[in-house]
Structure 1
Amino acid sequence: MRTEQADEVVVVGGGVIGLTTAVVLAERGRTVRVWAREPAEETTSAVAGALWWPYRIAPVAAARAWALRSLEVYEELAAGAAPAGVRLAEGVLGETERHEVDGWAAARLPGLRAATAGEYHGQGLWVRLPLVDMSVHLPWLRDRLAAAGGSVETRTVTDWAEVDAPVVVNCTGLGARTLVPDPAVRPVRGQLVVVENPGVRTWTVSADPASGETAYVFPHGDRLVLGGTAEEDVWSREPDPAVAAGIVRRCAALRPEIAGARVLEHRVGLRPARDTVRLEREALPGGRALVHNYGHGGAGVTVSWGCAEEAARLAAG
């Protein structure tokens, strides 16, 4: 029978929130094991468009603080030599005005300005933001965790009593709905289309004020990730051909060169939405502690480092 170590932490969940939290804990000297139901490459995080921007997340003030701390880390990663999958890329935030970033982020975004008519058909901001290639970033996080002495195990948890550690960190995302259980966690379905890149170098995010439909184009080398959708309380992970056609049509309206680009892949992810992120500590029987870090909606990548540091603080007691 295993004997618990006093400094041991088990992080349940192996997406970007779980792996980032595990890295922070391990680099602060904790003995960390990640228990993940599936490999990181099969999680919702792997489907993320992964532009740094606080999207569909609350509470707003806390989310902005977490996002700004994460921005610092992503800037360091983009400037570093390690292949973290992070780069600073220029593009347009459509239907966004300067006053929406003044007072919290404008000072951290050098070069922020109104988009020109040649850059965008409507009102938007031209800005340089971190863009993360999750196919690179998730394995990089796993390797960084291993370098810090942590490990990842394939395990499914149905009850906290199964976890043999004095501190457990719940980073299960949508899984928290049944594991906690927390019915406030619900899916927001997002569908993506990956196509060959016909030469697009800048990203674009756009929203139709009338219909509410969104479109985004994120270049990752020879690939373009096209989105997007936000279907509340929809559980299907099967790509819908009609939805895919709509995504390509909306993105081609933004960037005409996309029309006719060869489709490489269809992806679907279920964002773990909640009215507010749950980031708090509670007691478990036997003097153990449970730290919750879930409910990040469509902004998990954006806030991952800020939330990981707060979760590590809570884990310390």
Structure 2
Amino acid sequence: MTCDAIVIGGGVIGLTSAIVLAEGGRRVAVWSRDPAGRTTSAVAGGLWWPYRIEPEERVAAWSVETLRAFLELAARPEETGVRLVEGTHTGLGVEELGPWAAEVPGLRPARPDELPEGFSAGLRARVPLVDMPTYLGYLRRRLEAAGGTVEERAAASPAEAGRAAPLVVNSTGLGARELVPDTGVHPVQGQLVVVENPGVEKWLVAADGAASDTLYVLPQPYGLVLGGTARENAWGLEPDPATADAIVARCARVHPGVANARVLAHRVGLRPARAQVRLETGQLPDGARLVHNYGHGGAGVTVSWGCAHQAARLSA
């Protein structure tokens, strides 16, 4: 065997898991069915914030560990794509958040003048906002610097990878539904619109964890990301024009300037949701160790480093 470990899946979870293993001294190959630019991670808005992910206690620890990693990466935003940006999450009080809230620097109740019209409460925070295309490129370069490789290759099963390496990490997200198979993982479709930024500098989120239509405005270097949707068990990847119009209209009520902003892109991604993240170990028929690391819902970026380190501990 030429590899110590094979990670199946080339999105943010797979690449981060591979980096932790490679920087720990293992020879690692990533098998990715799609190039990074076509993974669900590439479509993500990129805001660090636990959203649609369970179980709460483990998510808190994973989120805090990832936050600390992003705080370091934010010192080099042009290289990593990670910036610290101030913004407001409406409709929330600190008491409604998990234990991770105590670790967020500067988290506080929003003042009335910081809330958009129609909202009576919210939280203000300065948190990582990740430019995903830049960040995915950074992750790949970091993996390659540690001796890892990325191969565009679809695995028929974890056992196939287990015949090539003594350790297999399954980070296939929604693909685990067929690969494992695990019918417990299902899509939560998210649609967004990217427009030319009319001058918005702070992020804004108004997203109920159970709502199918959400509102978020995220200023990224490549444009202003407007969202969004969270539609359970919707598999379509084609943007719906009526949904896009509704997204822009919702965001324009908060930032009127976006109503006439030039549209740069329409995007749809499928969040890999599950009742709980599957982060556990097992054994393949040929004796290879199998570590599952998937089912992160709408918070893959938010928990990526914490889950990667936990996956590495399980592989020891």
Q: TM-score range by the shorter chain?
A: over 0.9
Please show how residues 154-169 of structure 1 align to structure 2 within 5 Å. 154-163=152-161, 164-169=164-169
Alpha-carbon shift at residue 82 of structure 1 (Å) = 6.6
SS in 1 for 2:57: helix
Q: Corresponding residue for 1:56?
A: 52
The answer to whether the aligner puts 1:96 opposite 2:96 as a matched pair is no
1-structure distance, mates of 2:65, 2:211: 34
2:111 corresponds to 1:116: yes
Does the Cα contact within 8 Å between 1:4 and 1:166 map onto a contact in 2?
Answer: no
Aligned to 1:133: 131
Greater displacement, 290-299 / 152-161: 152-161
| Contact 2:211–2:230, Cα closer than 8 Å, also in 1 | no
2:234 partner amino acid: V
SS at match of 1:287: coil
Q: Shift of the alpha carbon at 1:117?
A: 2.3
Cα pair 2:61 2:100 within 8 Å, conserved: no
What are the superposed Cα offsets for residues 73-102 of structure 1, whole Å, 9 maximum, x if unpaired? 00010024771100110000011102124x
1:69 lines up with 2:65 in the alignment = yes
- Cα root mean square deviation, aligned: 1.7
Question: What SS does the corresponding residue of 1:234 show, helix, strand or coil?
Answer: coil
Q: What is the alpha-carbon distance in structure 1 between the residues aligned to residue 210 and residue 157 of structure 2?
A: 45
> CA shift at 1:106, angstroms?
3.6
SS at the partner of 1:301? helix
Task: Give the whole-Å Cα distance in 1 for the aligned partners of 2:295 and 2:207.
Answer: 24
Distance 1:152 1:174 in 2: 20
Deviation (angstroms), 1:59: 0.5
Instruction: Tell me the SS of whatever aligns to 1:126.
Output: strand
CA distance in 2, matches of 1:20, 1:209: 26
- Runs of 5+ unmatched residues, structure 1: none
Matched, 1:311 2:311: yes
The unaligned stretches of length 5 or more in structure 2 are none
SS at match of 1:183: coil
Aligned pairs for 1:1-317 (under 5 A) are 3-4=1-2, 8-80=4-76, 83-101=79-97, 104-120=99-115, 121=117, 122=119, 123-163=121-161, 164-207=164-207, 213-221=213-221, 223-316=223-316
- Of residues 146-155 and 202-211 in structure 1, the stretch that sits farther from structure 2 once superposed is 202-211
Q: 1:211 and 1:178, CA in 2 relative to 1: closer, same or farther beyond 3 A?
A: closer
Question: In 2, distance between residues paired with 1:4 and 1:42?
Answer: 28
1:50–1:222 CA distance, 2 compared to 1 (3 A): closer
Q: CA 1:81–1:60 in structure 2 vs 1: closer, same or farther (change >3 Å)?
A: closer
Q: How far does residue 211 in structure 1 lie from its aligned partner after superposition? A: 7.1
Q: Give me the whole-angstrom Cα distance separating, in 2, the residues matched to 1:32 and 1:124.
A: 43
May I ask how many residue pairs the two structures share in their alignment? 311
Q: TM-score if structure 1 supplies the norm length?
A: 0.94
Q: Deviation per CA, 1:128-165, whole angstroms, max 9, x where unpaired?
A: 11100001000100000000000000101112232111
Cα displacement string for residues 239-286 of structure 1 (whole angstroms, at most 9, x for unaligned residues)? 000000010011111111211100000000000000000000001122
1:149 maps to amino acid = G
What one-letter code is carried by the residue in structure 2 that aligns with 1:191? Q
The aligned amino acid for 1:130 is P
Distance 2:244 2:77 in 1: 36
Deviation at 1:222, TM superposition (A): 5.2
Encode CA deviations 1:18-51: one digit per residue, 9 max, x unaligned. 0000011000001000000011110000000111
Determine the C-alpha separation between the residues in 1 that align with 2:40 and 2:5: 23
